[in-house]
Amino acid sequence: MKGFEAGSLQLLAEALETLDGGFSGLPDRAPELTAGELVSLRAGLTAAAERLRDNYPYHHPLYVGQMLKPPHPVARAAYQLAMWLNPNNHALDGGRASSAMEKEAVAGIARMFGWETHLGHLCGGGTMANFEALWVGRESNPGKAIAASAQAHYTHSRLASVLGVPLREVAVDERGRMDSAALERTLEDGEVGTVVATLGTTGAGAVDPLAEILELRRRFDFRLHVDTAYGGYFALAGNLEPEAAAAFDRIAEADSVVVDPHKHGLQPYGCGCVLFRDPGVGRYYRHESPYTYFSSPDLHLGEISLECSRAGASAVALWTTMTVLPLERGGTFARSLESCREGALALYDALLADSRFAPLFPPELDIVVWALRAPTASEASARAERLFAAAAQHDLHLALASFPREMCAPAAPVESWDSDRLTCLRACVMKPEHREWMPEILSRLDVAGDRLAGEPPEIS
Ligand SMILES: Cc1ncc(COP(=O)(O)O)c(C=O)c1O
C-alpha cells in the first residue's frame, strides 16, 4: 500500500486468535460469513472506502492543518481487536478487562503529571472532560463564576452557559497567554470559583503562566483547572523553553486536569481524560443504578463519570499504546513529541527569514501561526485565505485562524490596521515526520506563495 500502513492488519489477525482462545470453552457458533454475506459486505466496504476518499489526507505529512494526528497503528489495531467484544466501560458488567485497562492507563497519565493518587477516567473528548471538571468546580464552589482566558477553547464559555455559571474572560498578553495581572483584577471581588489555565491553547499553542496563577491561589480562594487537552503530553518533552517547561512541571498543583489522548496521545477519536487531584470529589458523582453495578463490589467507572455507555475499546487502544510506548521522559513517545516541536521551530525559523511572512511569535509547543505581510489588515487576511487555497492546490494542507490585533501587532505584518482582527495561517506540526518533511513543506509553501504574488511558479 502506498500511503496507509497495513502491516498491522496481520498482527490484528494474530491477536484475534489469541482473544478467541479465551472463549474456547463455549460451544461453536459458526461465526464465519456466508459467501452471499461476503459479497454484500465487500460491496458495502468498497462503497465506504470510495466515500472516504473525499477527505483531506490527515494521515500524510503534507497535512499540517488542523489539530489532527493519526492514531498509532497499535492503537488502531487494539481498538479494532476490542470490537469483536465491543465492551462498555460504564460498568464492570459490560467491560471487566477494559475497565481495568482504563484504570491502569488513566493512573499512568496521572503519574505523568506527578499524581500517585487521583480520581479520573476516560470520556468522549476534551469537551466532555472539561465539562466534568467545570461541573465539579461548580458543585465545590456553588454560585461562583469561571474565569478563562480570551484564548481558552470556546468550549469553556459554552459549558459555562450549560452549567448556568457566569464566565469571566481574562485578557491575554501578546503571545496569547493569560495575563496574570488581568486575572488578579478579575479575582478581586471574590466571585470566581474556578480558574481555567490552558497549557497549549488551540489557536496558537500558548502556555498560560501556571506559576503566576498558582501564586494568586495563595491569596484568592479558587479551584484551579488545567485544560491541557492538546498540550498535556508535552509534560514529557525535554525541549520546551524554560517558561513553558515550568508550567508543565507544576500541573500536579492543580485541582483538575484535562488531557486528550485523541490529540497528542496517538488515539482514535473518542478519547478524552479528566483527572482530579482529590479522589473525594467522587461524592458529586454518587448515584444509584437499578440496572448495573451488581456484578462486583469494585469501582465501576460509571460511578465516577457523567456519561453512561462508553467505548471500552478506547481504553484497550490507550492501554496497548501505553504498553508499547510508555509515558517516559526520554522514551520513544517523548522523543516523538520533541520531533514535532523541532519541526515547528524549523518552520518558524524559515518563515522568519522570508520577507512575505510575519510569524506572530516562536511556538511554545508545536503550533505555528503567521500573518502575510500586506499594506492593510484586511489585505493581509485576504492574502492568507488565498495562500491557504493555493497551498492546498499543491497538496499542502494548512489551517486558517483569526487573532486579535494585540497578538499580531508585535510582528508588524501590516502598516494600517483597518480591522481589529487578522486572519493568519496556522500549522499544527503534530506528526513527528513533519520534521523530516519540513523542506518539502517549505518548498510547496514557497511555490504557492510565488503563485499568489503572480510570479510564475517554480518547479522544485
Ligand atoms: C485546549 C482545548 N480544550 C478543549 C478542546 C475541545 O476538545 P474536543 O474537541 O476533544 O472536545 C480542545 C480541542 O481542540 C482544545 O484544544
Instruction: Give residue 457's pLDDT.
Output: 42
For residue 63, what is its C-alpha cell? 497535512
The CB of 198 under 6 Å from ligand 1? The reply is: yes
Instruction: Give residue 277's pLDDT.
Output: 98
At residue 228, φ and ψ (nearest 5 deg) are: -125, 45
How far apart are alpha carbons 63 and 399 in whole angstroms? 9
Q: Catalogue the E-assigned strands of 240-304.
A: 256-259, 272-276
Contact 421, 406 (CB under 8 A): no
* Residues 175-211 pLDDT 10s: 999 999 999 999 999 999 999 999 999 999 999 999 9
For residue 406, what is its C-alpha cell? 494585540
Q: For ligand 1, atom 4, which residue shows the shortest CA distance? A: 126
Written as one letter, the residue type at 275 is L
Q: What is the whole-number distance in angstroms between the Cα of residue 69 and the centre of ligand 1? A: 13
The CB of 260 under 6 Å from ligand 1? The reply is: yes
**Percent of all residues in the chain with a pLDDT value above 90, rounded to a whole number:** 93
Q: What is the whole-number distance in angstroms between the Cα of residue 229 and the centre of ligand 1? A: 6
58 forms bridges with which residues in the sheet? none
Instruction: Give residue 292's pLDDT.
Output: 81
Q: Which is the closest atom of ligand 1 to the Cα of 230?
A: 16
Q: What is the whole-number distance in angstroms between the Cα of residue 326 and the centre of ligand 1? A: 23
Q: For ligand 1, atom 16, which residue shows the shortest CA distance? A: 202
The CB of 208 under 6 Å from ligand 1? The reply is: no
Q: Chain-centre distance of CA 71, in angstroms?
A: 12
Q: At 287, is the pLDDT very low, low, confident or very high (cuts 50, 70, 90)?
A: confident
For the chain, counts of helices (H) and of strands (E): 14, 13
Contact 227, 202 (CB under 8 A): no
Q: For ligand 1, atom 8, which residue shows the shortest CA distance? A: 126
The CB of 366 under 6 Å from ligand 1? The reply is: no
Number of alpha carbons in the 13 Å side-chain half-sphere of residue 52: 9
CATH classification number, 332-452, choose in 3.40.50.880, 3.90.1150.10, 3.30.420.110, 3.30.1600.10: 3.90.1150.10
Q: For ligand 1, atom 9, which residue shows the shortest CA distance? A: 126
Q: Which is the closest atom of ligand 1 to the Cα of 128?
A: 11
Q: Which is the closest atom of ligand 1 to the Cα of 125?
A: 10
How far apart are alpha carbons 334 and 61 in whole angstroms? 19
The CB of 151 under 6 Å from ligand 1? The reply is: no
* Residues 307-363 pLDDT 10s: 999 999 999 999 999 999 999 999 999 999 999 999 999 999 999 999 999 999 999
The region of weakest confidence among 1-5, 138-142, 187-191, 336-340 is 1-5
Q: Which is the closest atom of ligand 1 to the Cα of 127?
A: 11
In testing the pocket of ligand 1, which one of 202, 227, 271 has its CB within 8 Å of the most ligand atoms? 202
Angle at 248 between CA 198 and CA 342, to 5 degrees: 95
Q: At 291, is the pLDDT very low, low, confident or very high (cuts 50, 70, 90)?
A: confident
**Percent of all residues in the chain with a pLDDT value above 70, rounded to a whole number:** 98
The CB of 80 under 6 Å from ligand 1? The reply is: no
Cell numbers 506563495 correspond to 449
Q: Which is the closest atom of ligand 1 to the Cα of 231?
A: 1
Q: At 459, is the pLDDT very low, low, confident or very high (cuts 50, 70, 90)?
A: very low
Q: For ligand 1, atom 7, which residue shows the shortest CA distance? A: 126
Res. 128: pLDDT tops 50? yes
Instruction: Give residue 454's pLDDT.
Output: 66
Q: Do domains 82-324 and 332-452 have the same CATH topology?
A: no
Q: What is the whole-number distance in angstroms between the Cα of residue 14 and the centre of ligand 1? A: 35
Q: Which is the closest atom of ligand 1 to the Cα of 272?
A: 10
Contact 362, 207 (CB under 8 A): no
Cα–Cα nearest to 117, from 235, 259, 279, 251: 279
How far apart are alpha carbons 324 and 349 in whole angstroms? 34
The CB of 267 under 6 Å from ligand 1? The reply is: no
At 169 the three-state DSSP class reads strand
Res. 460: pLDDT tops 70? no
Q: What is the whole-number distance in angstroms between the Cα of residue 128 and the centre of ligand 1? A: 9
Q: What is the whole-number distance in angstroms between the Cα of residue 127 and the centre of ligand 1? A: 6
At residue 71, φ and ψ (nearest 5 deg) are: -65, 155
- Give me the mean pLDDT over the 421-431 stretch: 98
Contact 369, 360 (CB under 8 A): yes
* Residues 18-71 pLDDT 10s: 999 999 999 988 678 999 999 999 999 999 999 999 999 999 999 999 999 999
Instruction: Give residue 458's pLDDT.
Output: 42
DSSP state of 29: -
The CB of 118 under 6 Å from ligand 1? The reply is: no
Cell numbers 496569547 correspond to 176
Task: Return all residues near 333 (Cβ < 8 A) that are at least 6 apart.
Answer: 233, 236, 266, 325, 326, 327
Looking at every residue in the chain, the average pLDDT score rounds to 96
Buried/exposed 253-263: b ≥16 CB within 10 Å, e otherwise: bbbbbbbbbbb
Instruction: Give residue 28's pLDDT.
Output: 87
Higher-confidence position of 250 and 456: 250
- Give me the mean pLDDT over the 141-156 stretch: 98
Q: Chain-centre distance of CA 34, in angstroms?
A: 42
420: left (phi over 0), alpha (psi -120 to 50) or beta: alpha
The CB of 227 under 6 Å from ligand 1? The reply is: yes
CATH classification number, 82-324, choose in 3.40.190.10, 3.40.640.10, 3.40.50.150, 3.40.30.10: 3.40.640.10
Cα–Cα nearest to 208, from 222, 224, 221, 192: 224
Cα–Cα nearest to 174, from 211, 201, 206: 206
- Give me the mean pLDDT over the 440-449 stretch: 97
The CB of 228 under 6 Å from ligand 1? The reply is: no
How far apart are alpha carbons 200 and 242 in whole angstroms? 15
Instruction: Give residue 456's pLDDT.
Output: 47
Q: What is the whole-number distance in angstroms between the Cα of residue 125 and the centre of ligand 1? A: 7
Residue spans per domain, the chain: 82-324, 332-452
Q: Which is the closest atom of ligand 1 to the Cα of 200?
A: 1
Taking the whole predicted model, whether its pTM rises above 0.85 is answered as yes
How far apart are alpha carbons 260 and 102 in whole angstroms? 14
Task: Return all residues near 382 (Cβ < 8 A) that are at least 6 apart.
Answer: 374
In testing the pocket of ligand 1, which one of 66, 132, 153 has its CB within 8 Å of the most ligand atoms? 153
Q: Which is the closest atom of ligand 1 to the Cα of 262?
A: 10
